[in-house]
Structures are given as structure tokens and as C-alpha cells.
Copies of this chain bind each other. A is one copy, B any other.
Amino acid sequence: MVAQVRRKLIVVSNRGPVRVARDGSVHRSSGGLATALRSLLQHQDVTWIASATSDGERALAGDTLQQENYRLHLVAHDPQAYDWYYNVVANPMLWFVQHSLWELAYTPKVDAAFHRAWRDGYAAVNEAFARAVLAELEREPDAAVFFHDYHLYLAPKLVRNSRPDATLMHFVHVPWPQPDYWGVLPRAIRCAIHEGLIANDVIGFHTERWRRNFVYSARELLGDDVTRKTVTAPISVDPAEFDELGESEPVLAAEREIVAQRPEKLVVRVDRTDPSKNIVRGFGAFEIYLAAHPEMHRRVRMLALLDPSRQDVPEYAEYLGAIEREARRVNDRFQQQGWTPVELRIEDDFPRSVAAYKQFDVLLVNAIFDGMNLVAKEAPLINTRDGVVVLSENAGAHAELGDWALTVNPFDVAGQAEAIHEGLTLDQDERHRRLESIRAHVRAHDVNEWLDVQLAALDRVATTARR
């Protein structure tokens, strides 16, 4: 890379790169987005605007807090507004729309409560973010603004209205559905979402598929051709971070435990307990595999490491129940003295997940829809067993890794069972070749490339604007 200028950036995301605890101490946020954006901080001059999400953070909100290598601006929201914004509109409504998860015969019901949550929650919180951005732009008029994700669709237009010359960029980390599915939302709301987004100069997506869907829905809903504003930039990981993590003591300890307990073959999945991740069908596929391959009983286990997610949203609580019920059902059918076919762990234990990355023979990533899915990029980097990736055609990662993974349709449990079998029986040369190809791709296209692509798009806009 040519050394680039150090830019002034205002990064805006719902969650910041750190959590401030009640005692005032600062901790790194988990999650792929915070991790990916953290590398921005090393090379750019960043002010980061995020929601205050705890009492400790609310006490610090409003001021700009100098951190080690960036400034942090926390925005305190009215708790009721934040609940509507986060737990009614963003999750589940927008998340469920963007991952095509509604059961349209019955859900959602867009009622007066939702209309209020949209207006007094989502729109209000976006207005608060826009005000914070405008305050920062007063201080740094030349800074470019970099919005993130589905929480902030309305803010860019609000900023644009007050600052017509601002440079605004938005990255959408989730899939973009085709226009008919946006019809789940009333016209005024789906149009506001698209109008908010196209107020940006650059709008980024993980894959060509999501980018084209956005261009298509913007054309259908607003009649605008926004092609030239859009950019495809697949998010990625920092390979060095995983090289280091893989040899860290907590991971080595977790790995020793896995090795001591594992049978001959291990099918691993690592996910949040999110309905989009398709965990229930994954157990069903493993059941079909076990029924077809009695010779593998006692010799194979599915290890499901699931981070509990959004348990104050009823759809997520119900999905966790379904996960537990399905795992129990498969175990009840096949379990023997000394062998549990499915090991289900509902906990946030990152070292154990990284240890499982090293130990999988098959990694199952069968997401219904997934913007990218970083597990599919992270786990192969440090796997020690020439493991095979079984990958949903609806995960963004499939656009990059599909040639070296075993492709599955997320709804086809019979096909997933076959892919598990194929993954466990491919000869070692073939497995090795595929795994090395994935590694080479991820190392060549790391998280810095993701940022570089977007910053280059930003520079083009800035150059055009100056002309």
C-alpha cells in the first residue's frame, strides 16, 4: 500500500469501540464491527460517536472524551426512545426484514405501537445522532462522516439537510433484500429508509449481491439510479490477530479441554443465537447425517458454541428455546453411554470459540441470510486439521469463499447432511488444498483492504467535490 494521508473521520455507530463500566473503567467492545473498525483508529484521526448504553456511559455523554488514539463522543438517549429504537424497530423489525425472517401470514403487525416506536424511537434516536454529528462538524468542518449499519438509516439525510457539502459515507453490514420484501414496511417508512441512505455520498455493501439489491430497491421505490454512489467492500479480519489469539493461553487452555473430550470428528458451529443463523436446521441436518451413517455414531460430535443474543426481543428468546429443544431431540434420539452427539453451549466464551476454530473437521455456516459471516473467514486461518467449510449460498462470505467451500442451500437439510458427510470424507489433499486457498484469500484480502476500498471511494468523492 502507498502510505495514505491521515484523514479526519467522524465514525458513527450505535455501539462504540469500548464499553465504559459502572466504575468508569474502559473495556473493548466485542463484535466484528467494533473489531474491524478498531484498525481505523491506528491510521486515521477519528472521532467516534456512539450511544451511551449504561449508567456509567450516560454520565459521560455529551462531552468529547480523549481516548488513547481517538476521541469518543457518547450520545445519551431517552431510555424509552432507545428501547423503541433498539428493541422494536432495529431488532427485530429491520433485522428481520433485512434477513427475510418474518412469517408474513402472521408477522409483523405494523400497528400504532410500531408507528410510535418508529417516530418517537428510531427517528428520535437518529435525530440525536445527527445533532451529535453536526456538533462535531462545527468543530471539524472538513471531517468525513462514516455511518454504520441499520440503526442509522435516517441520520445521513438529517446531516445533509444542514450541511449540504458534508462528505458522508455509510456501510451496511447486513444483507439488502430485494424491493418486494421491503414492502413489509409501509411505503412512508421504506421510502424514508432509502432516502436517508441515499443522502450519503458513498454507500458500501459486503457483496455485489447486496449492492445490486440496493440499487434495485432504490430505483423501484424512489426512481433514482444510485449505482455510482455504491461500492462493494467485503469486510474481513486481521489475520495477525488470529495468529496471536490461537497461541494465547486462554485459547490453548480451552483447546486442551476440547482435545481431551473430542471424538474422532468434530463438526463445529460458532454463532450468536440469532434466527438468521439457522441453528435449528443445522441440528436437523446433523440428525439426518447420523441416521444415514450409523458407522459414525460415537465417532462424531456437533459442537455448537452459541453466544446468547438479544434476549429481550421475544423472537430471539423463542428461537433460543427452539435451539435447545432441537438439540435435546437429536440427543434423545441418538445419545449413548459416553457419547452425546450434540454439545450445545450457550455462553459468550471467545477463547473457546477460537479453540474450536483450531479443532473443527467440518465448520458449519448454514445461515439463512448473512451480510458476511466472519466465522467463515476467521476459523480456517488457524484450523489445524485441514477442516472443511460448509457454507450457505446466502452468506456474504460465499461470494469470496464459495469455490473452496461445500455450498449448501440453507433450507435444504438433506443437502446439508450430505455436505457434512462429504466434508468428513474428502481426502486429505483435497481438504488441505481447499483450506489453504481460503487462508490465502483471507490473508490477501484482510480488514485493511476493506477500509482502503472505502477510503479510496471517499477520496474520489472529496476530489470530485473540490472540483
A interface list, Cβ under 8 A from B? 100-112, 114-115, 177-181, 183-187, 213, 275-276, 278, 280-281, 284, 288, 319, 322, 368, 393-394, 409, 411-415
Given A105-B101, A111-B288, A413-B109; A180-B178 close (CB under 8 Å)? yes
**Residue in B closest to A276 when the chains form the complex, CB atoms:** B105
Contacts of A110 in B (CB 8 A): 409, 411-415
Contacts of A178 in B (CB 8 A): 178-181
Inter-chain contact B104/A104, CB cutoff 8 Å: no
Inter-chain contact B275/A100, CB cutoff 8 Å: no
CB distance from A395 to the nearest CB of B (A): 12
User: Which has the most chain B C-beta neighbours within 10 Å: A178, A288, A393?
Assistant: A178
Inter-chain contact A319/B105, CB cutoff 8 Å: yes
CB distance from A307 to the nearest CB of B (A): 17
Given A101-B104, A104-B101, A105-B275; A111-B368 close (CB under 8 Å)? no
Inter-chain contact B186/A412, CB cutoff 8 Å: yes
Contacts of A105 in B (CB 8 A): 101, 275-276, 278, 280, 319, 368
Contacts of A186 in B (CB 8 A): 409, 411-412, 415
In the assembly, what is the distance between CA of A112 and CA of B288, in Å? 9
Inter-chain contact A108/B411, CB cutoff 8 Å: yes
Inter-chain contact B409/A112, CB cutoff 8 Å: no
Inter-chain contact B100/A181, CB cutoff 8 Å: yes
Inter-chain contact A183/B319, CB cutoff 8 Å: no
Inter-chain contact A183/B394, CB cutoff 8 Å: yes
CB distance from A13 to the nearest CB of B (A): 26
In the assembly, what is the distance between CA of A320 and CA of B456, in Å? 56
CB distance from A97 to the nearest CB of B (A): 10
Secondary structure class of chain A's binding surface, majority of residues? loop
Q: How many copies does the complex hold?
A: 2
- A-B CB proximity, top 9 nearest: A103-B103, A105-B275, A178-B178, A110-B412, A186-B409, A186-B412, A112-B414, A110-B411, A111-B414
Contacts of A394 in B (CB 8 A): 183
User: Which has the most chain B C-beta neighbours within 10 Å: A104, A115, A177, A185?
Assistant: A104
Inter-chain contact B288/A414, CB cutoff 8 Å: no
Contacts of A414 in B (CB 8 A): 110-112, 114-115
**Residue in B closest to A99 when the chains form the complex, CB atoms:** B104
**Residue in B closest to A116 when the chains form the complex, CB atoms:** B414
**Residue in B closest to A96 when the chains form the complex, CB atoms:** B105
Inter-chain contact B213/A180, CB cutoff 8 Å: yes
User: Which has the most chain B C-beta neighbours within 10 Å: A179, A181, A184, A409?
Assistant: A409
**16 A-B residue contacts at CB 8 Å?**
A101-B105, A103-B107, A109-B284, A109-B411, A110-B409, A110-B411, A110-B412, A114-B414, A178-B181, A181-B181, A183-B393, A184-B411, A185-B411, A186-B411, A186-B415, A187-B409
Contacts of A111 in B (CB 8 A): 284, 288, 413-414
In the assembly, what is the distance between CA of A443 and CA of B256, in Å? 78
In the assembly, what is the distance between CA of A101 and CA of B187, in Å? 20
In the assembly, what is the distance between CA of A103 and CA of B393, in Å? 18
User: Which has the most chain B C-beta neighbours within 10 Å: A105, A106, A114, A411?
Assistant: A105
CB distance from A325 to the nearest CB of B (A): 11
In the assembly, what is the distance between CA of A112 and CA of B187, in Å? 40
Contacts of A102 in B (CB 8 A): 103
In the assembly, what is the distance between CA of A179 and CA of B216, in Å? 12
CB distance from A188 to the nearest CB of B (A): 9
In the assembly, what is the distance between CA of A300 and CA of B141, in Å? 60
CB distance from A178 to the nearest CB of B (A): 4
Contacts of A409 in B (CB 8 A): 110, 183, 185-187
Instruction: Indicate which residue in B104, B108, B288 contacts A100 across the interface (CB closer than 8 Å).
Output: B104
Contacts of A278 in B (CB 8 A): 105
Contacts of A108 in B (CB 8 A): 411
Contacts of A213 in B (CB 8 A): 180
CB distance from A352 to the nearest CB of B (A): 25
In the assembly, what is the distance between CA of A276 and CA of B413, in Å? 26
